[in-house]
Amino acid sequence: MSDPRYLALDNLTLAYGGSVAVQDLSLTVKQGELIALLGPSGCGKTTTMRAIAGLMPVAGGTVTLAGRDLTHLAPNKRGIGLVFQSYALFPHLSVEDNVAFGLKLKGVPAAERAARVKNALARVDLAHLADRLPKALSGGQQQRVALARSIVVEPGLLLLDEPLSNLDARLRLEMRSELARLQRELGITMIYVTHDQAEALALADRIVVMRAGKIEQQGTPEEIYERPVSSFVARFMGFENCFALEEHKLVGAGGVLPAPAGASSAGLAWRPRGVQLGSGPHQGEVLGASYQGQSVEYLIQSAAGPIKAEADSSAPRHAVGATVAFDLPLSSAAPLTSVD
Amino acid sequence: MMPRWLRWAILALVMIFLIGPFFVIAAAALHGGETLAFPPKDLTLKWVWKVFEVESFRASFGLSILLAIGGTALALVLGVPAAYALDRFRPKGSEAIRLMVTAPIIVPGIIVGLALLRYLVIPVDLPMIAALFVAHTALLIPYAVRVVSASLANLRVDIEEAAVLLGCSRIGAFVRVTLPNIKSGIFAAFILGFVTSFNQVPISLFLAGPGVSTLPIDMLWFMEFTYDPSVAALSALLALMSMAVVLVAERLLGFSRYV
């Protein structure tokens, strides 16, 4: 049975010198689960990951893995793998020796070592480059070596620090599905740190959105994408029109609009897609229109400030400068419990 | 734009100025007469052979080699950790420390020699050999720190963290991952230190005494009494040796990248 508290962070507090980077953070991860730590830079996600690995001292709280307290254990005794953003391959060692490094330290006999290295390289499709030096490889290949080097020692937990951010868009998609496949095949528990919501949505079993050293929201990709609880998460997930709800009015940056009937949350948010154009109780001037292929994106000046709306490009177009009617229907809105 | 011939002429003059003396000395070494002369007459190799027969040359050559190897090695033992700490931990005032570590390059050797003699050798009655060893080590530390720092700066910090997470201790990570990647820098520092120490005159001048002397100092003394071409022969041999060392280093690891 998989342990629901396989990895547990309890009231974790982390600080650099005097400044607190992560405050009182608690999180549990099931065995075999792939968690994405998602947030903008500076939100504490990388710091949290480094603390789990033991590369960052813990100021308060505990880290346990498989029932073992790791809080003050040296990083080389934790059995945790980390794939670095920069790959951190050893420049003086061949691909094969890079991958064999951890096994050598563990004293795995040569024959078994060779077999496991071969197997790991085959998994990442690099068997043919075993004797190259890292500098002779492309970014994507280096990334695979880093991955093979981490999984070959069969870590109890694999941490990935923005592993795809140095790759170009096409490679990123390719590596994304490769990562998902590896995780399925090996069943390794993974924590994936990223600032890219598309990556998190595509890969993770569960997304943990972090903000300013705290967890803002956690849930399945569907929950995070469809039901963000705060304007912070909502904006991150593409709800670009966020309003606070006060006395049946939508309060935006530029003013107020009447709220849809029946709304009762602290705020409401709409994606550009969710804004209904061409009819409705509100009116606004079209400030800009940009053609996106399948759709057209409009910027509309409403009484509550600029609103982003999106319509099929086959629908009747609205010219810049024209006044257009629109609706913010409750059915396409995400109710928010906090707005800022 | 100056004419082509003028550019070549200037280049030729500079080259003659820089390496001409070497050819003059090498040619003078082959002179058949009893005193130094240029151009040489009655070519002979007998002065070259005489170099190997002068007892004091053999002794001072031995001491010079010993100082160059031992002093450089000790400077590296002290300098590599210093360079590592300055680069990785960036302690408070690390810029000031870096400046102080490199300061001996700027201070004229003759002052260092005098200061060491007056305030170290005489008060504590330090043996001459020990004084020379201390002086040469101190002289070479800046080179060790600078050259090793340069190769550390080109190395990513996180490869050590990667090694630790794969099971290395901190020191193990340094030995297994950092050291192999800066070894050409260390080797370059060694060559540079060796050549610097071997050719060192002003500091050694103060610290050498009867029976204890480095080769360049011994050559100075020798010339005061004997003005035959054997000194020229020895000079030419030394120049060739230095060239060979640097040439081999360049071939092996692209020495010029480090200095």
Task: Name, in order, each residue with C-beta under 8 angstroms of A249's C-beta and a sequence gap of 6 or more.
Answer: A256, A257, A258, A259
Name chain A contacts of B161, Cβ cutoff 8 Å: 55, 75, 82, 84, 88
Of A86, A101, A149, the CB nearest to B158: A86
What is residue B4's predicted lDDT score, i.e. its pLDDT?
92
Please calculate the CA angle A160-A165-A171 and round it to the nearest 5 degrees. 105
CA-CA-CA-CA dihedral for A316, A319, A321, A323, to nearest 10: -10
A161 beta partners: A193
**Do A81 and B165 count as a contact with CB atoms less than 8 A apart?**
yes
- In the sheet with A19-29, reading across from the earlier edge strand, the strands are A19-29, A7-16, A60-65, A68-69
In terms of CA atoms, which chain B residue is nearest residue A154? B166
**Which candidate in B151, B165, B168 is best for mutational testing of the A interface (most A CBs within 10 A)?**
B165
Among A78, A104, A80, A79, which residue's Cα sits nearest to residue A90?
A104
Q: In chain B, which stretches have pLDDT less than 70?
A: 254-259
Name chain A contacts of B172, Cβ cutoff 8 Å: 105
Q: Are A42 and A232 in contact (CB under 8 A)?
A: no
pLDDT, tens digit, 9 for 90 and up, residues A88-132 = 999 999 999 999 999 999 999 999 999 999 999 998 889 999 999
**Do B164 and A102 count as a contact with CB atoms less than 8 A apart?**
no
pLDDT at A1 over 70: no
Q: Does B226 touch chain A (CB under 8 A)?
A: no
Of A53, A86, A91, the CB nearest to B165: A53
Among A28, A108, A90, A24, which residue's Cα sits nearest to residue A59?
A24
What is residue A9's predicted lDDT score, i.e. its pLDDT?
96
**Do A89 and B159 count as a contact with CB atoms less than 8 A apart?**
yes
ipTM higher than the 0.95 cut = no
What is residue B108's predicted lDDT score, i.e. its pLDDT?
85
Among A58, A23, A65, which residue's Cα sits nearest to residue A44?
A23
Of A55, A86, A153, the CB nearest to B166: A153
Please tell me the pTM assigned to this model. 0.82
Expressed in angstroms, the distance from the first to the final Cα of chain B is: 32
pLDDT, tens digit, 9 for 90 and up, residues A213-261 = 999 999 999 999 999 999 999 999 999 999 999 989 999 988 899 999 8
What is residue B38's predicted lDDT score, i.e. its pLDDT?
81
Q: Are B42 and B104 in contact (CB under 8 A)?
A: no
pLDDT, tens digit, 9 for 90 and up, residues A167-213 = 888 888 888 888 888 888 889 999 999 999 999 999 999 999 999 99
